[in-house]
Structure 1
Amino acid sequence: MPRIRKKTSKRVNLHQRARIKGKARETRKKRKRDAKTNPQWKSKKAKDPGIPANFPYKDQILAEIAEERRQVAEAKEKRKEEKQAAKLVAAEAGDDAQTVAGSSTAPGMKGTRATIQPAASDDEDAPILLNPEYPHFQAIFEKSDVILHVLDARDPLSFRSSHIESLANKKPEQRLVFVLNKTDMCPRESVSAWATHLRASHPTVIFSVPGDGPKAFQDALGATTALELLREWAEQKGEDLVVAVIGTTNVGKSSVINALAHKASCPVYKLSNKPIQTPSTTMYPQEVVVEAAGRSLRLIDTPGLFWEYPEDASKEDAVALKARDILLRSRGRIDHLKDPLPPLNHIVQNAKKQDLMLLYNLPAFADNDMGAFLNGVARLNNLLKKTAEPDQILAARIVLRDWNTGKFPRFTLPPSSPSASSVADAALGKAYAKDDGTLSRLRTRSELRKSGGLVKMNSGDICKRTLVLDTEWISPEDSEPSEDEDEDDAMLDFHGSDGDDEDGVGDDNEDEDEDEEEESEDEGDDEDEQEESEVEPPPLPSKRKRPAEPSRGPKAPPKKRVAFDLQKPVRGVGLPSKPTPPKPDIKRPTLVSKKRR
């Protein structure tokens, strides 16, 4: 009988549902099998249907496409001709083939390429050794004529040190010069204001090294001005000038020296995913000699400054100070910190709210509200937990990663702009006269905002902590385990550790307990224990979750389980066997079958 009306529900019983699934599975299997056996080629990309024939402007569109193709072909041919012309000019201009740097190809040879590289100098092949003249910071301060204190132009006050300035003021013949580095990452107005502010206390040079290649070292901003200034001071002294380049870790000290030397003399820090083993890229002083107009400038590259943390500081102040140092150094992957919230709290507390909203495209949030800021960043990047709550930890790591990789452009302004003081030194007057040309190469605030955003932050304070001066440097031999424990303790103190070895005290106590136990035992037992105590060292832990237990000699064979509980003595090898006792004769009862009558 046909169905009278349409079914109002799609519910079916389990038998019908299983039949439908089975048929669908068989259909898919059959289609897949047929597709494999079908020889016809089917492209995964959708074919362009082209312009319809009845489209009124088809001829114009085809003409435009043909014109674009013609222009691309002409540009390609033009680049090819320019490249060939440049090769011919370079080949004709060079008198000697060995003077050509880089790779050169003969015009008639296409299959082979002759690469000519300059011979490596002896300075590059020589290993970097520890100079005994500068065992610590105190020796560098005593022997240097000029101290170049490198500051980050984005927040110069946070990189200044009252202790260093007081040490320089004690020696009137010693000059302290501020090098305002990384000015290419700041707006022109901020750099000009900071230069005026810092020159009221000490001479200041505007500097920038855009990159780390040989060309960047030759085109560094302010390198020529700094060299002329140092050369005139060397002429006034009448002998070689010793210049110490100091500053916080990762502020750009080695880049400044490479720019002054016009070559890669010192290693430069590069961000990497590998764990960092040293607190500073430059582990001990390295001297680079630069010839400037007949005068030798001895530039000393120093490790990053190390401070003594105040012992009477509270826990909150210590955490805030540590977070500030992490952000200033930006060494390593700071976005991989176990707790990224303290450094991020420092950023939110000092950054302008409107600039953060524009940089990350966030809705409005309250001032100094780190939670609301992280919630907005998490929702923007779709970082939600299983409970649909924003993941603030991952959002904090994103912001710290931007800070670490230079995607968090920022600047500060000086607290006050004092009037420019008169310059008594003629060399400084000549250097300051070139500021207009240097500042003209920097971008303005509006240009930086349009390019990738810009965040205004509150200026920091001058560091008032005491600098570690009398601790010796760390040499590569000290990093390996040695017999002298005093050097290891000095290295720990240099990095800011307490230096107390609590584990060593515990080891002494354990040794005393073991001695008392050995004295209380017999001599025969001691020999047996010494033989048994020679256990093989435990194997290295593998990738398994539970480490393997240390081996304790050969394992005994497993006991055989029997139905009765009789412990028979085990016969040893070479031991006389004991006679077994005779078994008692037990008479078993006989079964007598009784016939039923």
Structure 2
Amino acid sequence: MRVKKPTSKRMTTRLREGIKKKAAAQARKDKKSAKKDVTWKSRRSKDPGIPASFPYKDKIIEEIEMRKQEREDQKRRMKEERKAALRMNDNINDEDADMIIDDENADDDGSNDMAALLESAENAARDFNGEVTVDREGDDGMGEYEVIEHQIENDDDDDDDDESENNSEIEKSRKQFDKIFKNVVDTADVVLYVLDARDPENTRSRKIEETILQSQGKRLILLLNKVDLVPDEVVKQWLDFLGSSFPTIPIKGSNGSNGGKSFNKKLTQNATGNQLLLALKAYAQKSNLHRAITVGVIGYPNVGKSSIINSLTLQHSGKGSNNKNSGPCPIGNQAGITKTLREIKIDNKLKIIDSPGIVFPENYDSKSHKKLNKKEYEAKLAILSAIPDKQIEDPINAVKYLLNKLSKDNSMADSFKEFYSLPAIGSKDLNDFTKKVLIFIARKQGRLGKGGIPNLHAAASIVLKDWRDGKFQGWSLPKSSKSEDQNNSKIPNGASGKRAPEKVEQTTIVKEWAKEFDLDSLFTDVFGN
């Protein structure tokens, strides 16, 4: 069979130029028809708006309408004030006053702009003085609160050193320790110390407790938050253990679903928030002070301080948990959301101070009481979700720290394996096991680099995020009082400072403070014991 010679794709110049002329003619025709089109088209891309599938679309639209209505009300109120001033000063009737005001609005459409400018100037002045009024809300008289932000000032002498040497969240938190904590304690009559129910001991600082005890007239209440992430028996053990030192209240600051198994379903946000609010109001009535009781809220980052305050304001206003995403304090499931001291006036008898999360400078293990190195300390804070994801330098080491914790209980280990559908993995040691687990998760989640190599760093970040969100179970159990007393003598001098008060004095304090806050009746109604 004879193979044909391949034909050339070259064309004549006449044909090529003819194609160019036809293409140019078609372009001119399209341009001419586009000019005849009456539809106006902007050069800027159209805003797609809020997608219909966005879960909070209705809320955003409602907020936009509320702002629009507020602007219209403000404009109407300013018009009435201007009209009243014209009638009083110039003896002008209503019709003439309306004409003058309309002419002023036609010449200068900036009445709202001037008001906004004045408001901006006032806010700038408050910023300069270190105090900013944020908002004042009310709901038909059902409840009203005022929010004031206090800016945290930095020392001028340390600014350059901070930027050049210590830019980590841990170092910043240590430098703010004296400023924030002492400010809250000095101002507050009652200090609410928020602990994470998954690991209360590591989110607790004995130095803080001793400082508050040494302050005359201060009251300290421990709040065991996130009780929906640990079993009922674990919560009861921690309540008994912590309740021997200070009055302790279990609380659920947020009703957000974590996508995993939920515990303590009787302890809802409404029940626990109402419990805490009643306790604070009982103390406010018994204190007989001729001013509002100031309540300071402190704790590690991401333990739920702002969520608890929002829960209290919602209980006071009667809105309940249907407004879980609203409130005076911004919230988010990560560290560092609250950046300023925020003062919320609930009513004439109660005022609450929300503070940024503080990583208390105690870098030792709560069980072994051994000082941790920098790598171990960062892993500990990462497991406590006390530092943002971007600040974690070695997430793989943090996951190893987490797996070591989960391996001490079969139910926690099974929860982790079930969530990630882990097969049986053989390993030589913890490092090898951690590496194989992250390889499996990276492949399953599609976190692969060039050549299909698993990205262990990205897989570790996923595990830490799922742990922070409560997707799988994990908790710690309290130590016995006997082992605690033995270990107290082993604590380094720089770790906790002075020794804790005697047990007899501590028991007396707990009983007296529990009576002041009526905690016995509250526990009977809510916790059932």
TM-score between the two structures when normalised by the length of structure 2 = 0.51
Matched-pair contact (CA < 8 Å) for 1:287–1:299: yes
Match of 1:40 in 2: none
Matched-pair contact (CA < 8 Å) for 2:282–2:517: no
Match of 1:401 in 2: 465
Q: Structure 2 counterpart of 1:220, which letter?
A: N
Q: Secondary structure at the match of 1:411?
A: coil
Report whether the alignment pairs 1:123 with 2:136: yes
Match of 1:358 in 2: 418
Report whether the alignment pairs 1:300 with 2:320: no
Instruction: List per-residue Cα deviations over 1:50-78 (Å, max 9, x = no partner).
Output: xxxxxxxxxxxxxxxxxxxxxxxxxxxxx
In 1, Cα distance between the equivalents of 2:453 and 2:256?
Answer: 43
Q: Secondary structure at the match of 1:424?
A: helix
Q: Which runs of 5+ in 1 are unaligned?
A: 1-12, 20-100, 105-112, 273-278, 441-597
Structure with the higher helix share, 1 or 2: 2
Report whether the alignment pairs 1:270 with 2:332: yes
Report whether the alignment pairs 1:348 with 2:403: yes
In 1, Cα distance between the equivalents of 2:187 and 2:269?
Answer: 30
Report whether the alignment pairs 1:246 with 2:298: yes
Deviation, structure 1 residue 414: 1.8
In 1, Cα distance between the equivalents of 2:397 and 2:458?
Answer: 14
Count of matched residue pairs: 322
Instruction: List per-residue Cα deviations over 1:247-271 (Å, max 9, x = no partner).
Output: 1112111121122222655322325
Instruction: Answer with 1 or 2: which has the greater Rg.
Output: 1
Q: Structure 2 counterpart of 1:130, which letter?
A: H
Q: Structure 2 counterpart of 1:303, which letter?
A: P
In 1, Cα distance between the equivalents of 2:67 and 2:147?
Answer: 27
Deviation, structure 1 residue 139: 3.1
Residue from 342, 359, 370 that aligns with 2:434: 370
Match of 1:229 in 2: 279
In 1, Cα distance between the equivalents of 2:135 and 2:405?
Answer: 49
Matched-pair contact (CA < 8 Å) for 1:103–1:116: no
Matched-pair contact (CA < 8 Å) for 2:310–2:328: yes
Q: Which runs of 5+ in 2 are unaligned?
A: 8-58, 75-133, 139-145, 154-177, 258-267, 318-325, 365-369, 408-412, 483-502
In 2, Cα distance between the equivalents of 1:411 and 1:175?
Answer: 28
Q: Secondary structure at the match of 2:384?
A: helix
1:403-442 alignment, distance < 5 Å: 403-416=467-480, 424-425=511-512, 427=515, 430-435=518-523, 438-439=526-527
In 1, Cα distance between the equivalents of 2:526 and 2:221?
Answer: 18
In 2, Cα distance between the equivalents of 1:162 and 1:114?
Answer: 47
Residue from 310, 319, 337 that aligns with 1:281: 337
In 2, Cα distance between the equivalents of 1:127 and 1:242?
Answer: 14
In 2, Cα distance between the equivalents of 1:102 and 1:396?
Answer: 34
TM-score between the two structures when normalised by the length of structure 1 = 0.45
Matched-pair contact (CA < 8 Å) for 1:375–1:391: yes
Matched-pair contact (CA < 8 Å) for 1:181–1:208: yes
Match of 1:182 in 2: 226
Matched-pair contact (CA < 8 Å) for 1:265–1:288: no
Deviation, structure 1 residue 160: 0.3
In 2, Cα distance between the equivalents of 1:306 and 1:386?
Answer: 38
Instruction: List per-residue Cα deviations over 1:170-189 (Å, max 9, x = no partner).
Output: 13532111011111222222
Distance 1:219 1:310, change over 3 A: closer
In 2, Cα distance between the equivalents of 1:344 and 1:320?
Answer: 11
Distance 1:298 1:361, change over 3 A: same
Match of 2:308 in 1: 256
Q: Structure 2 counterpart of 1:171, which letter?
A: S
Matched-pair contact (CA < 8 Å) for 2:341–2:354: yes
Cα-Cα RMSD: 4.7
Report whether the alignment pairs 1:152 with 2:196: yes
Instruction: List per-residue Cα deviations over 1:408-442 (Å, max 9, x = no partner).
Output: 332222223899979634637842444465458xx
Deviation, structure 1 residue 114: 13
Deviation, structure 1 residue 150: 0.7
In 2, Cα distance between the equivalents of 1:148 and 1:342?
Answer: 32
